[in-house]
Chain A
Amino acid sequence: MKIGILALQGDVAEHAQMIRICGSEPVLVKHVSDLDGLAGIIIPGGESTTLGDLIGVYGFDEAIRKKHENGMGIFGTCAGMILLARKLNNGTNNQPRLGLLDVKVSRNAFGRQKESFECELPILPLDIPAFPAVFIRAPLVESVGPGVEILASLNGQPVLVRSERILAGAFHPELTGDTRVHRYFIDRVCG
């Protein structure tokens, strides 16, 4: 199975390595034509303003939307989650993005880098009692629309959500060497 990683900016190589360990084929997506034949695409961690901008410049917004309508799964981590959100707060709602997931997301919700942290996060619907979750200048989901399933929460606020063929997380499973969330994306969201 081919899983793309949007390779315009961010921690692309880390995601590609996780996909490889899971036994799937990672494809670095630099051009819209690279989307052909993908079962899923990962929007990596990075700077959401930079990524959103480059997505618009090269027409990835329309192209990803179309492929998604035809069944391509999408997994957004951190910046990727921000780009998938339909609504953003903190006065950043006009930031260009994909907007395919019915959630409201708050950017830099925990503060600046010195507040970035690691914790053991339970993801019970995936039968994971403790996942090594890394939050870096991370966003939080403030509210979810109908049909959005909350897979994990931190202090009562969602940090991993799913809506049909979209998975979005505020943390970085690609930084840990623990492939369980990536496997869930490949097997259960794209599969």
Chain B
Amino acid sequence: METKVGTDTVKRGLAQMLKGGVIMDVTTPEQAKIAEDAGAVAVMALERVPADIRAQGGVARMADPSIVKKIMEAVTIPVMAKARIGHFAEAQILESLGVDYIDESEVLTPADEAHHINKRAFKVPFVCGARDLGEALRRIGEGAAMIRTKGEAGTGNVVEAVRHMRAIMGEMRKLRNMPEEELMAESKKLGAPYDLVKWVAEKGCLPVVNFAAGGIATPADASLMMQLGADGIFVGSGIFKSSDPAQRARAIVLATAHYNDPKILADTSSGLGEPMPGLDVAKLPEKELLSVRGW
């Protein structure tokens, strides 16, 4: 029987299966197992979590393939890994390892300050960060099969993720009410492909799944992002930089599944110990912001 691999349906489809779930950053096979046991729908294999990348500085690159492989062997759930913006050679290496999704991520140091990866050249699907609708549609135009807010990774502060989710949802609501003759000018303003702008205006949603990421540290943060319209949650440093990772991971999974049930949220938020230490994003110097990376 003739089979087709790497189609848009298959690439976007995996992200659809992850909806309502939590994807967790892990740096070791042991952490991956903790994440899987807590109910994560996927893990992101990394060498350092964003909070450590932020603290240590220097150039942040794709993880050592041996770490990614060990994490793939440790769990049965999908494994994602990060490549630098524009670094298609890192992406080719990750694809050859067999990772299930590649995150072309602003958390790593960009390799190209003008261009992102041509994601259509790959069979493995890509997720990309976005701060607003124009950025989301540019990434989808390049072949991204999943979008996430950028937020401000490694801060434990949800404020930027909220800003980005509100921007994306608000701009979609605006498009939905726009007469067709205004869509070309809006497409120019957003810097987004016209056919995708038209698609969003007709359907009122993105053609791919949109998760929240960047600064989510508590079950309440997860609930907030889901209620603002996220399809699911990425938690980076928030789990393994907290005082009791297994319990916090579990609580965020339950909070994401029952995001609109305050009684369950009160229960899952209780007695979790210390969350990761947070940073005030407004006090970060502009050159330390990760979310401004990407074009």
Judged by a CB distance under 8 angstroms, whether A134 is at the interface is yes
Distance (whole angstroms) from the CB of A81 to the closest CB of chain B: 13
Q: Do A113 and B253 have beta carbons less than 8 Å apart?
A: no
Q: Do B17 and A11 have beta carbons less than 8 Å apart?
A: yes
Judged by a CB distance under 8 angstroms, whether A154 is at the interface is yes
Chain B residue total in the interface (Cβ 8 A): 39
**Which chain A residue has the least Cβ–Cβ distance from B22?**
A50
Distance in angstroms between the alpha carbons of A159 and B259 in the assembled complex:
34
Q: Which residues of A are found within 8 Å of B4, using beta-carbon distances? A: 117-119
Q: Do A112 and B98 have beta carbons less than 8 Å apart?
A: yes
Distance in angstroms between the alpha carbons of A92 and B76 in the assembled complex:
9
Q: Which residues of B are found within 8 Å of A45, using beta-carbon distances? A: 16-17
Q: Do A47 and B1 have beta carbons less than 8 Å apart?
A: no
Judged by a CB distance under 8 angstroms, whether B236 is at the interface is no
Distance in angstroms between the alpha carbons of A115 and B3 in the assembled complex:
10
- B interface footprint on A16-57 (CB within 8 Å = 1, 0 otherwise): 000000000000001000000000000001110110011001
Q: Do B10 and A116 have beta carbons less than 8 Å apart?
A: yes
Q: Do A11 and B5 have beta carbons less than 8 Å apart?
A: no
Count CB-based A-B contacts (< 8 Å): 117
Instruction: Known A45-B16, A46-B17; judge A119-B1 contact (CB<8 A).
Output: yes
Q: Which residues of B are found within 8 Å of A13, using beta-carbon distances? A: 19
Judged by a CB distance under 8 angstroms, whether B124 is at the interface is yes
Instruction: Known A9-B20, A49-B77; judge A136-B39 contact (CB<8 A).
Output: no
Instruction: Known A92-B76, A108-B76, A134-B13; judge A12-B3 contact (CB<8 A).
Output: no
- B interface footprint on A96-113 (CB within 8 Å = 1, 0 otherwise): 000000000001100111
**Which chain B residue has the least Cβ–Cβ distance from A14?**
B16
Instruction: Known A49-B39, A118-B7, A120-B1; judge A136-B14 contact (CB<8 A).
Output: yes
Category for how many chain A residues contact B: 35 or more
Judged by a CB distance under 8 angstroms, whether A87 is at the interface is no
Q: A9 contacts which of B14, B21, B98, B101 (Cβ < 8 Å)? A: B21
Judged by a CB distance under 8 angstroms, whether B2 is at the interface is yes
- B interface footprint on A152-176 (CB within 8 Å = 1, 0 otherwise): 0011000000000000000010011
Distance (whole angstroms) from the CB of A46 to the closest CB of chain B: 5
Q: Do B13 and A136 have beta carbons less than 8 Å apart?
A: yes
Q: Do A79 and B17 have beta carbons less than 8 Å apart?
A: yes
Judged by a CB distance under 8 angstroms, whether B9 is at the interface is yes
Distance in angstroms between the alpha carbons of A49 and B41 in the assembled complex:
8
Q: Do B76 and A118 have beta carbons less than 8 Å apart?
A: no
Q: Do B21 and A50 have beta carbons less than 8 Å apart?
A: yes
Judged by a CB distance under 8 angstroms, whether A137 is at the interface is yes
**Which chain B residue has the least Cβ–Cβ distance from A121?**
B1
Chain B residues within 8 Å of A, Cβ to Cβ: 1-7, 9-10, 13-14, 16-21, 36, 39-42, 76-78, 95, 98-101, 123-125, 253-254, 256-258, 261
Residue contacts A-B, CB under 8 angstroms, 29 given:
A7-B20, A9-B21, A9-B256, A10-B20, A11-B17, A13-B19, A30-B258, A30-B261, A45-B17, A46-B20, A47-B17, A47-B41, A50-B253, A54-B253, A54-B257, A90-B76, A112-B78, A112-B99, A113-B78, A113-B101, A114-B5, A116-B5, A116-B14, A117-B4, A118-B3, A120-B1, A120-B2, A136-B14, A175-B9
